[in-house]
Chains A and B, each alone.
Chain A
Amino acid sequence: MTKSFVGKSIKRNDGLDKISGDQKYLDDLKFGGLLYASILSSPHAHAEILNIDIKEAENSPGVKRVLTGDYHPHAMGLYLGDKPPLAVQKVRYYGEPVAAVIAKSKADAEKAVQKIRVKYKKLNSVSSSRESLKKEAPILHQNLKNYNHIPDVVPQPNSNIANLTKIRKGNYQKAAKEAKYVIKEKFKFPPGDHVAMENRSAVAEIKANGDVQIYSTTQAPFVVKELLAFNFDIPTGKINVIAPPIGGGFGGKAGLQLEGLAYILSKSVGGKPVKIVNKREDDMVSSPGHIGLEANVTITADEQANITGMDLQYYFDAGAYADYAVNVSRAAAISATGPYRVDNLNCDSYCLYTNHPFATAYRGFGHIELAYVIERSIDILAKKIDIDPVKLRLINAISKGDTTPTRSLMDNNTGDLKACINKTAELINWDQGSVVKIDNDKVIARGMGLLWKSPAMPTNTDAGAILTFNNDGSVNLHNSIVEIGQGTKTALRQIVAEKLQMPLNKVHITSEVNTKTGPHDWATAASRSLMMAGRAAINASEDAIQQLKNTAARVLRCPVEDLTVAEQKVFMTDEPNIFIKVRDLCLGYVYENGNAIGGQIIGRGNYIARKLSSMDPKTGEGRPALEWTLGAQAVKIEFNLRNYSYEIKKAASTMDVGKVINPDLARGQVTGAMAMGLSFARSEGFSFNSSNLVQNDTLRDYKILRYGEHPNYYVEFIETPQGDGPFGARGLGEQGVIGMPGALANAISNAVNQEIKELPLIPELIYKNVKEGHNDD
């Protein structure tokens, strides 16, 4: 009888470490002979650096070295190399690192950094993505044409356009001409921060033999390794990047973060180990955050409420550097329409330089942003047509056989979005009405938002898994998935236990990632870890099973195909009493006379994304998306019409995630994401003064959801299998954020009977939108 581990709520493997304070994160580790760095950051959003006087800092006690931008004046990056580790000649955002002090202690470094004197000449700054396109806007990157970039990114030199992705599908002009209903809207929201509870840090050391060792709070250790090799001209094999478990990432720890800076700091002091740790304020503004957006949306529909066309302009506010953001704007184009069938589409997705803190990947990767503007627009369209917004969504929900914006087919693996919509409507009691008055001041309001998501990653994204055995017959799963709290490691253990039919406590897993000893893995991002590493783990298990059987067949003198592996034994399928224990095979079998055969079993498995292709630069046609997760979300709020405050009472999500490998962990990912999406919409985002300086760079002023402000969560899954996913599973880590902002804004718009087109949804902003709405009328 086979035992099943997949589909069960197995407890995570890191529980005891985490509840006892034992779990070691990077900042908890001790290093011998460590030096500490402190960073001076820019007080201006845009200025020329006239002069930096470091003398006094150099003479400060304990100081080993003071560095400025000219030590390594080269722009680096992943998708578009546009950012030097320390500012060169110009600062382009408030918080940009300008100089670094390396000293014997943190305190010495912090004291000395205050003694650096910088003379700036302030320059006009660009304060929004629309403004960046104006003729009079200063060009922020004069050198854009010389930056390295991947072929799928299209920068436009002598402008502030770091990337423009165009999608042309069908004939939008015709659709617009023939439309019965048209809505035309503008939306905007500011950039903000991930607020992972652990601040970023990195430790770099260059050993006597030239080996570079980096410890980093990274989601992408292999990306870091390969980028350091490329940018500093070091053979890749000489670099090792170690990623201990991290305290939350949400995309903010993908790409290159502090590692390049840590490397040059170490280099400047003869290779000694140097540590940089962000303070919270640095983590919020010096390091990258989430992208801002302004958008124009036009949607056309016919008599029967079928959406016939969309014309979309997305103006993403990448901030001062667009290295990662260019790919966010590209991902938003790939999924531009949201999960709707749209046969006629024009979309221009711009990634624009401004003088704001710069953006990187953020949970949802372009989708949370586009979903906000699309889902608001769908509700506005429903009002125009005078149809129930849930019904409008059901009519237009994308399904099998439809095509995506890039004209790739929604194949047999397409989830059942209509089932998701119906389930969510039921969970939120949609039939009780979108606005219900409870007394003179208060109403109950409901709103829905759909989601879809596909990972936007390189076409050759891969993962690997290696299984080694211990002499007690237990197995070690070597993998390169970073532990972020997402629980993928537990799911991988379940997969291996299932395949090897072995008790779960016999499946051990590595917790830190080491790029020298672990298999190659693109990055722990894009919700692709379980899908890809899961496939690799299955392959590795099958490989190990085959090897165990091969050795056992020789000992038992039977054909390999007569054997089964289960219960830590290899036995004859038809005569289970004839067996050898795995522990007697896994490190080679030893006969009574001492002869040994077989050698140790090493299972290997890999996976590489299939059939992905680049996009046509003029039309966007191509197959950039591996798989699509579809879903529907909704909220119920209690809104006070007197003071515009509200409470989020209920939040519901139904997602088609394919096979759910671990229901409890899956639910945890979704509720966490829902909270993050609600928080994003409710109260987050940077506020800037007229000089583009961030006003809320502490957790006191930048409000994220607190305990007690969270709603009751209702989470359901639909399990249409993903044919190529492990046991039919697909990604679910990010998706839960995507529909929430739209759902919340729709509920609030219903409550105040005005269309809200901005974020964050704080009472002041709602009030302002309502006032302006009345003025328009």
Chain B
Amino acid sequence: MMITYKGNKEISLKINNEIYKVVVKPNETLLNILRDKLELTGPKAGCENGDCGACTVLINDKPFKSCMALAVEMEGNDITTIEGLKKTEIQKAFIDKEGYQCGYCTSGFIVNAYALLDKYKKPNEQQIKEWLNSNLCRCTGYEGIERAVNKVIDNR
């Protein structure tokens, strides 16, 4: 089915277990809405082209690049941003194992890794690689991120 919208449309989005009513234009991405209208600035606009993963959020528990989703299509979904994750194991491990430096990629990486560790109790190296290679980090060389994920797995 093709959805056609013209002009502005009011939609309601469920984000981090809260309902937000927001007026969107048909060409606005979920990332635009989160950052510009809902003050959820944890997800970052690193490329707005699906290449970097800095904008990653969860849509129904699956990681999704929010720059690649149109906001109007998001009604009825359960959306989680980094702001919705509180003191999770992976967040603590990121601090413990130096999983970040500048922090710009960190929201996206944590959200992605959280979903991975939610789906698999003990993901193997190949699975970790397949999931996390959708995100870019320019600062760390990925060692700290790898160690953080492994720490969570080792603690299980």
- A706 interface residue (CB < 8 Å to B): yes
**A668 pairs with B144, CB closer than 8 A:** yes
Partner of B44, one of A247, A698, A713: A247
Q: Answer yes or no: B91 CB below 8 A from chain A CBs.
A: yes
Q: Chain A's nearest CB lies how many Å from the CB of B89?
A: 11
By the criterion CB–CB under 8 Å, are B98 and A197 in contact? no
> Interface extent on B, as a size class?
35 or more
A698 to B103, CA, bound (A): 21
Nearest-neighbor residue (CB-CB) of B132 within chain A: A707
The contact of A699 among B42, B47, B98, by CB within 8 Å, is B47
CA distance A668 to B147 in the complex (A): 12
Complex Cα gap A27–B46 (Å): 11
User: Which listed residue (B96, B135, B140) contacts A672, Cβ 8 A?
Assistant: B140
* CB-based contact A18/B132 at 8 Å: no
Interface centre among A24, A245, A671 (most CB of B within 10 A): A671
Contacts of B83 in A (CB 8 A): 20-21
The smallest beta-carbon distance between A265 and chain B, in angstroms, is 20
Chain A residue nearest in CB terms to B140: A672
- In-complex Cβ contact of B103 among A18, A194, A706, A713 (8 A): A18
The answer for the CA separation of A665 and B95 in the assembled complex, in Å, is: 12
Q: Smallest CB–CB gap between B23 and chain A, Å?
A: 14
Closest to B42 in A: A21
Q: Which of A9-17, A179-187, A332-340, A617-625 contacts B (4 or more CB under 8 A)?
A: A9-17
B138 adjacent to chain A (CB < 8 Å): yes
A157 within 8 A of B: no
Pick the contact of A21 from B41, B46, B48, B143 — CB < 8 Å? B41
By a CB distance below 8 angstroms, the chain A residues around B132 are: 707-708
Alpha-carbon distance A706/B135, docked complex (angstroms): 7
Pair A699/B103 contact, Cβ less than 8 Å: no
Whether B106 lies near A18 (C-beta < 8 A) is yes
Contact between A197 and B141, CB atoms less than 8 A apart: no
Q: Which residues of chain B are near A12, meaning CB under 8 Å? A: 98
Given known contacts A19-B106, A198-B46, A707-B129, A672 and B101 CB-to-CB distance under 8 angstroms: yes
Interface check B58, CB cutoff 8 A: no
Chain A nearest CB: distance from B121 CB in Å?
20
Residue B140 contacts which of A14, A196, A668, A709 (CB distance < 8 angstroms)?
A668
B contact residues around A707 at 8 Å (CB)? 129, 132-133, 135, 137, 142, 145-146
Q: B47–A698 contact, CB under 8 A?
A: yes
Decide if A198 touches B94 in the complex (CB within 8 Å).
no
CB contacts (< 8 Å) of B144 on chain A: these are 668, 671
Q: B7-39: contact bitstring with A at CB < 8 Å (1 yes, 0 no)?
A: 000000000000000000100000000010001
- Decide if B141 touches A23 in the complex (CB within 8 Å): no
Q: Is the CB of A197 within 8 A of B138?
A: yes
Please tell me if the beta carbons of B47 and A676 are within 8 angstroms of each other in the complex.
no
A485 in contact with B139 (CB, 8 Å): yes
Which residue from B81, B128, B138, B141 sits with its C-beta under 8 Å from A713?
B141
Among A21, A672, A713, the residue within 8 A (CB) of B107 is A21
Contact of B100 with A by CB under 8 A:
yes
In the bound complex, residues from chain A placing their C-beta under 8 Å from that of B49 are 280, 698-700
CA–CA, A707 and B141, complex, Å: 8
Interface pair B100/A676, CB less than 8 Å apart: no
Q: Kindly list chain B residues whose C-beta atoms are within 8 Å of the C-beta of A674.
A: 141
Contact A197 to B46, CB < 8 A, known contacts A672-B139, A707-B129: yes
Question: How distant is B152 from chain A, measured CB to nearest CB, in Å?
Answer: 13
Q: Mark B118-156, 1 if CB is under 8 A from A, else 0.
A: 000000000011101101111111111110000000000
Known: A197-B54, A699-B52, A706-B133. A485 touches B141 (CB 8 A): no
- B82 located at the interface, meaning its Cβ lies under 8 Å from any Cβ of chain A in the complex: yes
A199 in the interface (beta carbon within 8 A): yes
A107 to B32, alpha carbons, bound, how many Å?
Answer: 11
* A248-B138, A699-B52 known; A197-B129 Cβ under 8 A: no
A664 to B, closest residue via Cβ? B98
Q: Which chain B residue has the least Cβ–Cβ distance from A699?
A: B51
- Taking a contact as CB atoms under 8 Å apart, the answer to whether A199 and B46 are in contact is yes
Whether, in the assembled complex, A195 has its beta carbon less than 8 Å from a beta carbon of chain B, the answer is yes
Return the contact of B141 from the options A25, A107, A676 (Cβ within 8 A): A676
Check if A198 sits within 8 Å of B44, measured CB to CB. Answer: yes
Whether A247 contacts B104 by the Cβ 8 Å rule is yes
Binding site for A on B (CB under 8 A): 25, 35, 39-52, 54, 81-83, 85-86, 91-92, 94-96, 98-107, 110, 128-130, 132-133, 135-146
Contacts A/B (CB < 8 Å), 20 sampled: A15-B94, A17-B103, A18-B100, A18-B106, A19-B100, A20-B42, A21-B81, A28-B35, A28-B41, A30-B39, A196-B102, A197-B44, A248-B102, A485-B102, A668-B140, A675-B141, A707-B132, A707-B135, A710-B143, A713-B141
> Apart from A198-B46, A671-B143, A705-B141, what are 8 other A-B pairs with CB-CB below 8 Å?
A18-B103, A19-B95, A20-B91, A21-B83, A27-B44, A197-B52, A676-B141, A709-B133
| Nearest 3 Cβ contacts at the A-B interface | A21-B42, A485-B102, A247-B104
